[in-house]
Amino acid sequence: MEPKVIFNHHLKNVKPSVVGKFLEIANEYKEIISLSVGEPDFQTPWHIRQAGIEALEQGKTFYSPVRGLLALRQEISEYMAKRFNTLYQPKTEILATVGSSEAIEMAYRTLLNPGDEVLIVQPSYLVYEPMVYMAGAIPVIIETFEKDGFRLKPEQLKEKITSKSRLLILPYPCNPTGAIMEKEDLESIAEVIRETDMLVLSDEIYAELNYSDISHVSIASIEGMRERTIVTSGFSKAFAMTGWRIGYACAPEEIISAMTKYHQYAIMCAPTISQFAGIEALKNGAGDIVAMRNEYNMRRRYIVDRLLKMGLSCYEPKGAFYVFPNISSTGLNSEDFCEKLLKQKQVAVIPGNAFGECGEGFVRISYSFSLKHIIEAMNRMEEFIQELSREN
Partner 1 sequence: MEEVLKLLMQNARLTHSEIAVLLGKEEREVAKIVEKLEEDGVIKGYQAIINYEKLPHIPVFALIECKVMPKAEYGFQEIADRVMALDEVESVYLMAGNYDLAVFVKGNTMQEVANFVAKRLSTLESILSTSTRFVLQRYKQNGIILGEKEISDPRNMVL
Q: Are 118 and 169 contacting, i.e. CB atoms less than 8 angstroms apart?
A: yes
Distances (CA, A) of 229 to 33, 52, 132, 266, 343: 40, 31, 17, 23, 45
Q: Which of 205, 222, 354, 358 binds ligand PLP (CB under 6 A)?
A: 205
Q: Which of 376, 385, 293 is nearest to 344 (CA)?
A: 385
Number of residues that bind partner 1 (CB under 8 A): 21
Q: Are 292 and 42 contacting, i.e. CB atoms less than 8 angstroms apart?
A: yes
Task: Assign 3-class secondary structure to 221-279.
Answer: HCCCCHHHEEEEEECCCCCCCHHHCCEEEECCHHHHHHHHHHHHHHCCCCCHHHHHHHH
Cβ at position 37, least distance to partner 1 in Å: 5
Among the listed ranges 95-103, 106-114, 209-217, 354-362, the one in contact with ligand PLP (CB under 6 A) is 95-103
**Residue among 161 and 240 whose Cβ is closer to partner 1:** 240
Q: Is 133 in the site for partner 1 (CB under 8 A)?
A: no
* Dist. CA 358–CA 263, nearest whole Å: 34
Q: Is 123 in the site for ligand PLP (CB under 6 A)?
A: no
Q: Which of 14, 37, 53, 267 binds partner 1 (CB under 8 A)?
A: 37
Q: Which of 88, 125, 337, 369 binds ligand PLP (CB under 6 A)?
A: 125
188 binds, among ligand PLP, partner 1, none (CB under 5 to 8 A by kind): none
Q: Which of 318, 389, 380 is nearest to 348 (CA)?
A: 380
Q: Which of residues 275-334 bind ligand PLP (CB under 6 A)?
A: none
Q: Is 101 in the site for ligand PLP (CB under 6 A)?
A: yes
* Dist. CA 174–CA 338, nearest whole Å: 21
Q: Are 69 and 96 contacting, i.e. CB atoms less than 8 angstroms apart?
A: yes
Cβ at position 36, least distance to partner 1 in Å: 5
Q: Which of residues 1-20 bind partner 1 (CB under 8 A)?
A: 19
Q: Are 177 and 325 contacting, i.e. CB atoms less than 8 angstroms apart?
A: no
* Dist. CA 324–CA 117, nearest whole Å: 28
**Residue among 132 and 186 whose Cβ is closer to partner 1:** 132
Q: Which residues contact 287 (CB under 8 A, 6 or more apart)?
A: none
Number of residues that bind ligand PLP (CB under 6 A): 13
Q: Is 390 in the site for partner 1 (CB under 8 A)?
A: no
Q: Are 349 and 26 contacting, i.e. CB atoms less than 8 angstroms apart?
A: no
Q: Are 141 and 356 contacting, i.e. CB atoms less than 8 angstroms apart?
A: yes
Q: Which of residues 299-318 bind partner 1 (CB under 8 A)?
A: 299, 301-302, 305
Helix (H, G, I), strand (E, B) or coil at 203: strand
> Which string of x and - marks every residue 195-234 that binds partner 1 (by CB under 8 A)?
----------------------------------------
Q: Which of residues 334-353 bind partner 1 (CB under 8 A)?
A: 350
Q: Is 165 in the site for partner 1 (CB under 8 A)?
A: no
Which residues make up the interface to ligand PLP (CB under 6 A)? 38, 99-101, 125, 171, 175, 203, 205, 234, 236, 242, 247
Which residues make up the interface to partner 1 (CB under 8 A)? 19, 23, 34, 36-39, 41, 125-127, 242, 297-299, 301-302, 305, 350, 371-372
